[in-house]
């Protein structure tokens, strides 16, 4: 990428448009992200929202487990909510590319503030599990729309060769929020009840909406010039771009398998900690909070790792780490060991996720970014709900150990599969050096 590190150079030519900072001669001058007020406000607002999400991350499974005692019910709720998110993802990209992204994000935050706020109010009259099956799918569908818009928003806030850095900082901060969130949610759930933790999540969406209201995204002149078509045709345009890019195509296929194997992992982990290891709600919160430090580590590692080793090595290595750690979680017989291995797993998820997201943002034209993100997520999350239902059912029937070992082995196979695709050589430092133009006069 022009002016960026070699490891962040796009792996295809001619399809992406790049922006750099102000130029003076042959040097590129960038404003530090620490001094960028718009990005800083966006960063703060989304970090507050992530802290609230960390409460829901723990509170929702605990609400179901307290009310029903069934890991299968937890998996069913995850599956239904996931299916709603996939459905929203099909046309979410069309909305994101057609309308003002900031406005859409604010509307979605307000909707989630209202709906999540209903749950603790309803729980005052006793457990209302049916309400979770109504509210959570709607919120997950809205959340999918928000996430597509958030991914598409980053290139309108920072220069293209700062995308990986911006994503890493966002994810690192989200992970830091996730460290304290489950710890506090575990305390709140133990003393007041899991429904109270969801009230915190509801407030966080109001704060996020307020932060977005204070900033403006960069002008999208390119998008304004694009001729609009029917929604299905516009969605297919994103899918066609995704399928024609060899690396993105391979990523979509392999990530579909990875998501199928891991979508229900949190439910299985909560079940394993409480059922097999005798943990309390506070124990679960502590494990999830401390394990989130792995996400922080991954976010700090991803940018230098991509620069030095390239996209392919970073992504394939991350999947391998995830698989080995996931298998280890089931074999570990103590809470500290489970915590460490879950942190390692989340570190791999962080490196792989930030790498793939940054690559899409770097090589996709702005007017297609929402639809490409929509097609990417809709496709590889399509198997997630079925995977969550199957994983949690199998955990209840055969035990968490057998399920996590098999899922981990599957993730290792995903990593090995990447070696036989264009992912392997994507963004390698050697290829990036070869792609650099020769100096003038040579």
What local confidence, expressed as pLDDT, does residue 417 receive?
Answer: 92
What span, in angstroms and rounded, lies between the C-alpha atoms of 356 and 397? 35
What span, in angstroms and rounded, lies between the C-alpha atoms of 371 and 267? 30
Confirm if 250 and 80 have CB atoms less than 8 A apart.
no
Q: 279 is written with which tokens?
A: 């943990």
Buried residues in 16-28 as b, exposed as e (16+ CB within 10 A): eeeebeeeeeeee
What local confidence, expressed as pLDDT, does residue 32 receive?
Answer: 62
Segments of 21-166 assigned E as strands: 22-24, 27-29
Of 192, 183, 78, 232, nearest to 140 (Cα)?
A: 78
What local confidence, expressed as pLDDT, does residue 258 receive?
Answer: 94
Residue 226 lies in a domain: no
Residue 40 lies in a domain: yes
What local confidence, expressed as pLDDT, does residue 341 receive?
Answer: 94
What span, in angstroms and rounded, lies between the C-alpha atoms of 122 and 125? 6
Residue 342 lies in a domain: yes
What local confidence, expressed as pLDDT, does residue 328 receive?
Answer: 92
Q: How many CB atoms lie within 10 A of CB 29?
A: 10
Confirm if 119 and 131 have CB atoms less than 8 A apart.
yes
- CATH number for 154: 1.20.1250.20
What local confidence, expressed as pLDDT, does residue 22 receive?
Answer: 36
Place of tokens 């503030």: 113
What local confidence, expressed as pLDDT, does residue 376 receive?
Answer: 81
Phi-psi category of residue 26: left, alpha or beta, with phi > 0 → left and psi -120 to 50 → alpha: alpha
Residue 103 lies in a domain: yes
Q: 64 is written with which tokens?
A: 């179901």
What local confidence, expressed as pLDDT, does residue 24 receive?
Answer: 36
Phi-psi category of residue 278: left, alpha or beta, with phi > 0 → left and psi -120 to 50 → alpha: left
Residue 219 lies in a domain: no
Residue 203 lies in a domain: yes
Beta-bridge partner residues of 117: none
Residue 1 lies in a domain: no
Q: Is 41 exposed, middle or buried (0-12, 13-18, 19+ CB in 10 A)?
A: middle
What span, in angstroms and rounded, lies between the C-alpha atoms of 314 and 356? 10
- Blockwise average pLDDT, block size 10, the chain, 442 residues: 31 29 40 68 78 73 76 77 78 78 88 88 79 87 83 76 75 72 68 73 85 74 52 72 86 91 88 83 80 85 84 92 93 90 93 86 79 77 81 86 92 93 71 38 33
Of 221, 251, 281, nearest to 63 (Cα)?
A: 281
Domain that holds residue 116: 33-214+232-435
Whole-structure pTM value: 0.65
Residue 21 lies in a domain: no
Tell me how many domains the chain contains: 1
């Amino acid at each position: 990428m022009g002016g960026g590190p070699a490891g962040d150079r796009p792996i295809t030519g001619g399809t992406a448009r790049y922006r750099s900072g102000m130029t003076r001669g042959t040097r590129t001058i960038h404003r530090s992200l620490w001094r960028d007020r718009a990005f800083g406000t966006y960063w703060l607002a989304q970090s507050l929202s992530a802290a609230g999400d960390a409460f829901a991350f723990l509170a929702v499974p605990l609400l179901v487990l307290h009310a029903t005692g069934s890991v299968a019910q937890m998996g069913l709720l995850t599956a239904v909510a996931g299916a709603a998110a996939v459905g929203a993802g099909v046309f979410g990209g069309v909305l994101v590319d057609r309308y003002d992204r900031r406005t859409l994000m604010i509307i979605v935050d307000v909707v989630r503030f209202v709906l999540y706020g209903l749950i603790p109010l309803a729980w005052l009259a006793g457990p209302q599990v049916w309400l979770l099956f109504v509210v959570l799918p709607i919120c997950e569908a809205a959340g999918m729309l928000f996430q597509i818009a958030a991914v598409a928003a980053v290139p309108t806030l920072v220069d293209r060769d700062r995308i990986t850095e911006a994503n890493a900082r966002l994810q690192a901060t989200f992970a830091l929020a996730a460290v304290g969130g489950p710890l506090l949610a575990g305390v709140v759930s133990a003393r007041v009840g899991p429904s109270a933790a969801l009230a915190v999540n509801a407030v966080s969406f109001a704060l996020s909406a307020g932060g977005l209201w204070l900033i403006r995204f960069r002008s999208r002149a390119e998008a304004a010039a694009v001729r609009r078509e029917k929604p299905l045709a516009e969605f297919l345009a994103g899918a066609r771009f995704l399928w024609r890019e060899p690396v993105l195509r391979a990523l979509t296929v392999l990530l579909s398998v990875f998501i199928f194997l891991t979508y229900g992992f949190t439910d299985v982990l909560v079940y394993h900690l409480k059922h097999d290891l005798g943990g309390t709600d506070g124990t679960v919160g502590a494990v999830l909070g401390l394990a989130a430090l792995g996400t922080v580590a991954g976010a700090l590692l991803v940018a230098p790792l991509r620069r030095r080793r390239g996209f392919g090595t970073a992504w394939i290595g991350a999947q391998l780490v995830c698989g080995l750690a996931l298998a280890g979680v089931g074999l570990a017989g103590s809470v500290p060991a489970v915590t460490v291995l879950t942190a390692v797993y989340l570190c791999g998820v962080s490196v792989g996720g930030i790498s793939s997201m940054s690559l899409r943002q770097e090589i996709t034209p702005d007017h297609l970014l929402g639809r490409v993100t929509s097609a990417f997520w809709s496709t590889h999350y399509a198997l997630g709900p079925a995977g969550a239902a199957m994983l949690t059912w199998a955990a209840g029937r055969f035990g968490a150990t057998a399920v996590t070992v098999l899922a981990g082995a599957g993730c290792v196979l995903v990593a090995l599969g990447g070696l036989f695709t264009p992912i392997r050589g994507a963004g390698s430092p050697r290829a990036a050096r070869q792609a650099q133009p020769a100096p003038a006069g040579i």
